[in-house]
Amino acid sequence: MIAILGPFLQALCLCSAAATAIGAAWAGLRRRPLPALRWAVFGTLAGAIGTVLVVEVALVRHDFAVAFVADNGSRSTGLYYTVTSLWAAHDGSLLLWCLVLTGYLAVLGCRGARDALHSWALAVAAAVTVFFVGLAFFTGGVFDRVSPVPHDGPGPTPLLSDHPAMGVHPPLLYLGLVGLVVPFAYAVAALITGETGPTWLYAVRRPLMVAWTALTAGIVLGAWWSYAVLGWGGYWSWDPVENASLMPWLLATALLHSLMVQRRRTALTAWNVGLAVGAFVLAAVGVLLTRSGVVASVHSFAGSGIGPVLLGFIVAIVVGVLALVVLRAGQIAPAGSVGSLLSRGMAVVAGNVILVTMCVTTLAGTVLPVVVQAFGGGEASVGAPYYDRLLLPLTAVLLALMVLGPVLRWETDAPGRVAARVVLPLFLGAVAGLVTRLLLPGHLGAALAVALAAVLATSTVLESTPSPRGQRQRLGGRVAHLGFAVLAVGVAVSSAGGTFGEGVLHQGGSTTVDGVRASLVGVQTRPQGDGERTTAVLRLSRGGTLSPALRSYTARQTTVAVPAVAASPVGDVYVTLLSAPSGGRSVTIRVAVNPFVDWVWLGGALMALGGLLTLRRRTRITAPVHDGAVDRPTIPVGT
């Protein structure tokens, strides 16, 4: 039954998406609404939901006659991880991608093809849906039959079956990455129709903020998951798949800010269209990196053979958009001035340049090894020193622009007035940096980071008070900027001030790292699932115990480390069990003291909260204002 129902629902989703694309394009050409499109859109969503439900039912029922269940299911896996194992492998995760994509398509369909811009946006999003649903339908083997039917399966990959973030991180990340299809669809529609003015801005901003908020939360949650599971003591390793989520985020962040300039100054129109297209193209590049097997990563799936198809899709998007740009160059809204050299508009433009430069730098470091290998240059890699050397100075400049931007007016400003506004933030930042230097001697980087964060936080709070109707709208941006400052402190201090040590401990023995002593109390081994778990019990000198472990999985024939963390606002003690010889009398452990790591999670949470707060309020103001002392948008800022 499942072997028939699953492919039927996939076919329904594919045909409905194709009908939506064709119907929406027809409505755009005729410039007439087509109410029947909603039925096609909902048919697409129903097919995607039904397909996912069928796979989930097969997983929960342990129907090992289904290929996907036989490869990823297990009777010993708990219900939660059985459900989340849908996106633990390539074929199932592609179904989740399609489900999120059809959800966004349904939202666009609910808006209706009420004019040419919306019709073409719906057509573009539906065409993207046709591609990905077709990819899952024609290349996936989720519903293939297995004969003879095995009694049990190996379960999901061990790293994906032992942490609750598995149920949240991938859906959040997909919600963010896939959500970039909406700004992309409207950008292409704007190029087709020539409508790059207020209507385009009205349609793009809110979906972009939803995608940015989800992507921010997904990236930070993924870093926390990596920190808690992988056992190496860090949370970001500049892995190609990590970079694949960061690059679209950088362009989406730039677009959010440059849309403000276009809204107030009628400028950066072509630039914003390019950012919208580029963000989605980079999201597609992430799919290519994750699923083609061209890069080795703990986050990627095994090579699935769809790399050439994905590459062709990306090339087709780039060529098509470039052709539209050439064709419609004369219809793009004329550019206006962003303001004087000393204005908020110019600060936003400078910040955009920095963000795009950071994105290009990350892209170069990510694809260079692939290019070298493709041209017969052998194995190549780009490590953390490359990114640190190039991106850290850019990040410092970005923080400085974030300090300067809020104190500037949109039209123009006098140097004396700007200096007067930053005196207090600079003073408080200097005090905060000095106090940090005294409390944490030897951590100059931490003191500088705290100083800069204090300047940013103070200047943000002291920003000129907006009118009551704009108060809530500004609150989200302030919280997000404050979150970025907190995150920057966490990254700077934890990267520069972390210490670690490795050693062999015998029963009753101890090791000391950065003033923290860990003593071995005992070693325990017990069966767990289809394998066993060996745990070392350690007593810490600061109080409490930690129990890092080694977990073996018989079906997967692998053993993974399960680190233990004693967290606090000023620093974590992070212990990994590296080996535990039989006999239980000694272990090899790695102890790390990571200062201010919790500030990374706090900063990321504040950034995501800022995005949510921005989504709370919808305003509709139509009078353009160029007075630098007033901050009124010329179009609605919500939908």
Residue 287 sits in the same domain as residue 349: yes
C-alpha distance from residue 274 to each of 190, 218, 318, 475, 593 (Å): 11, 24, 11, 28, 43
Residue 456 falls inside a structural domain = no
Residue 613 falls inside a structural domain = no
Q: What is the pLDDT of residues 40-53, one digit of tens each?
A: 999 999 999 999 99
**Element containing residue 551 per DSSP (H, E):** strand 549-553
β-strands 499-506, 510-513 pairing: unpaired
Of 458, 495, 517, 457, nearest in space to 596 by CA: 495
CA 83 from chain centre, in angstroms, equals 22
| pLDDT band at 444; cut points 50, 70, 90 | confident
Residue 615 falls inside a structural domain = no
Distance, CA of 572 to CA of 545 (rounded, Å): 13
Q: What is the pLDDT of residues 198-221, one digit of tens each?
A: 888 888 999 999 999 999 999 999
Residue 135 sits in the same domain as residue 176: no
**Mean pLDDT, rounded, of the chain:** 85
Residue 23 sits in the same domain as residue 136: yes
Q: Among 107, 140, 162, which residue terminates a domain? A: 162
C-alpha distance from residue 578 to each of 20, 315, 560, 581 (Å): 54, 45, 9, 10
From first CA to last CA, the distance across the chain in angstroms is 43
The encoded tokens of residue 390 equal 């190039």
Angle at Cα 263 formed by Cα 259 and Cα 267, nearest 5°? 80
Residue 34 falls inside a structural domain = yes
* SS3 per-residue string spanning 215-247: HHHHHHHHHHHHHHHCCCCCCCCCCHHHHHHHH
Residue 495 falls inside a structural domain = no
Question: What is the residue range of 40's domain?
Answer: 1-162
Angle at Cα 159 formed by Cα 154 and Cα 160, nearest 5°? 75
Residue 471 falls inside a structural domain = no
What SS3 state is found at 407? Answer: helix
The encoded tokens of residue 116 equal 């040419």
Residue 157 sits in the same domain as residue 178: no
Helices marked H in 341-467: 344-374, 384-404, 415-439, 444-461
Inform me whether the pLDDT recorded for 529 exceeds 90: no
Residue 292 sits in the same domain as residue 152: no
Q: Among 162, 184, 217, which residue terminates a domain? A: 162
Inform me whether the pLDDT recorded for 245 exceeds 90: yes
Residue 377 sits in the same domain as residue 264: yes
Cis peptide leading into 425, omega within 30 of 0? no
Residue 129 falls inside a structural domain = yes
Inform me whether the pLDDT recorded for 469 exceeds 90: no
How many helices (H) does the chain have, and how many strands (E)? 18, 10
Residue 18 sits in the same domain as residue 52: yes
- pTM score, two decimals? 0.91
Lowest mean pLDDT segment, chosen from 65-74, 142-151, 242-251, 380-389? 380-389
Would you state the torsion angle of the CA atoms of residues 372, 375, 377, 381, taken in this order, to the nearest 10 degrees?
Answer: 20
Tell me if 449 sits within 8 A of 492, measured CB to CB: yes
Any idea what DSSP says for residue 294? Answer: S
Decide which of 577 and 405 is more confident: 577
Residue 33 sits in the same domain as residue 80: yes
Tokens 């989605």, residue located: 280
Orientation of helix 269-291 relative to helix 181-193, angle to 10°:
130
Residue 514 falls inside a structural domain = yes
Residue 234 sits in the same domain as residue 364: yes
Residue 97 sits in the same domain as residue 195: no
CA gyration radius, the chain: 26
What SS3 state is found at 545? Answer: strand
The encoded tokens of residue 579 equal 């080996």
For the chain, how many structural domains are there in total?
A: 3
Q: What is the pLDDT of residues 351-402, one digit of tens each?
A: 999 999 999 999 999 988 878 776 766 667 788 889 988 998 898 889 888 8
C-alpha distance from residue 477 to each of 354, 428, 481, 517, 633 (Å): 19, 21, 6, 43, 15
Q: Among 355, 383, 413, which residue terminates a domain? A: 413
Residue 151 sits in the same domain as residue 191: no
Residue 378 sits in the same domain as residue 252: yes
